[in-house]
Amino acid sequence: MPAPEREAIEVAQDSALVEALRAGDERAFLDLVGRLHGGLVRFALGFVRTQTAAEDVVQDAWAAVLQGIDRFEGRSTLRSWILGIVANLARTRAVGDRRSVPLSALQPDDERAVEASEFLPDTHSRWAGHWARWPEPWPDQCLLSRETMQQVREAIDRLPQGQRAVIQLRDVEGCTAEEVCEALGLSEVNQRVLLHRARSRVRKEIARHFQGSKP
């Protein structure tokens, strides 16, 4: 389903949920908490240092959500609104913990998706700019092994803050690009550049992992 339609459906479902929350429907609230809480903590961990700090941030965020729910206008999805609250609180907390990262860290850099050394040099007479050696296909069954999944998790966690936030929301949590732009205050282009850098870096690490584990 195209993203705009998916988002439209989500916004429509949200409005029923928001009504239920406003009316004090405890089950609706607990469902929402059950659905989002774990992911929110994981997301907050990209900004603050410890699990405890992340838990605190998310609990504060829930309190802010409940305070603000009567004013929620449904211009974004409920999830991206909540993610935005978590991001703001986590960043504020990180400033207090001196783990603040200037906003410029969210700006794109000029890193390459694949190291230049993987390609034939400009001086090559026929194939300049083409792969010097083909990337090795990844074995499907190993990709889903616990070890590889752990590698991917750690690779994501090691990314610079902006890249980590974007890939975590897009690829792990399955948010739309629009939701991520909304939650993190990014332009479409910046969101995509951060996603590109993040995916490329994680790919490098998986490739290294498979190369290293070869007999």
Partner 1 sequence: MSRALPEDLDCVVAVEQVTDYIEGAMPLQARTRFEQHLCYCPACMIYLRQIKAQIGVSALLAEHKPPPEEVTRKLLQLFRASRRG
Question: 161: burial class by Cβ within 10 Å (0-12, 13-18, 19+)?
Answer: buried
User: 3-state DSSP call for residue 145?
Assistant: coil
* 91: contact with partner 1 by CB under 8 A: no
d(CA 84, CA 35) in angstroms, rounded, equals 17
Task: Find the binding residues for partner 1 in span 7-36 (CB under 8 A).
Answer: 24, 26, 29-30, 33-35
* Contact (CB, 8 A) for 47 and 91: yes
Residues touching partner 1, count (CB under 8 A): 57
Shortest CB 160 distance to partner 1, Å: 16
Show the CA angle centred on residue 145, arms to residues 155 and 170, nearest 5°. 45
* 79: contact with partner 1 by CB under 8 A: no
Task: Find the binding residues for partner 1 in span 114-143 (CB under 8 A).
Answer: 114, 116, 119, 128-131, 134-138, 140, 143
**CA 122 → CA 57, 86, 113, 117, 166, distances in Å?**
50, 46, 18, 11, 33
Shortest CB 100 distance to partner 1, Å: 26
Nearer to partner 1, 12 or 128 (CB): 128
Find all residues with CB under 8 Å of 151, minimum gap 6, and list them. 205, 206, 209
Show the CA angle centred on residue 197, arms to residues 188 and 184, nearest 5°. 40
* Contact (CB, 8 A) for 182 and 80: yes
Residue from 49, 153, 158, 208 in contact with partner 1 (CB under 8 A): 153
d(CA 131, CA 133) in angstroms, rounded, equals 5
Residue from 84, 99, 152, 160 in contact with partner 1 (CB under 8 A): 152
Residue from 7, 62, 165, 183 in contact with partner 1 (CB under 8 A): 62
User: 3-state DSSP call for residue 131?
Assistant: strand
What binding mask, one character per residue, do residues 93-112 give for partner 1 by CB under 8 A, x or -? -------------------x
* 156: contact with partner 1 by CB under 8 A: yes
Q: Which amino acid is at 22?
A: R
Q: Which residue ranges make up the site for partner 1 (CB under 8 A)?
A: 24, 26, 29-30, 33-35, 37-39, 41-42, 55, 59, 62-63, 66-67, 69, 112-114, 116, 119, 128-131, 134-138, 140, 143-144, 148-149, 152-153, 156, 167, 171-174, 177, 188, 192, 195-196, 199-200, 202-203, 206-207
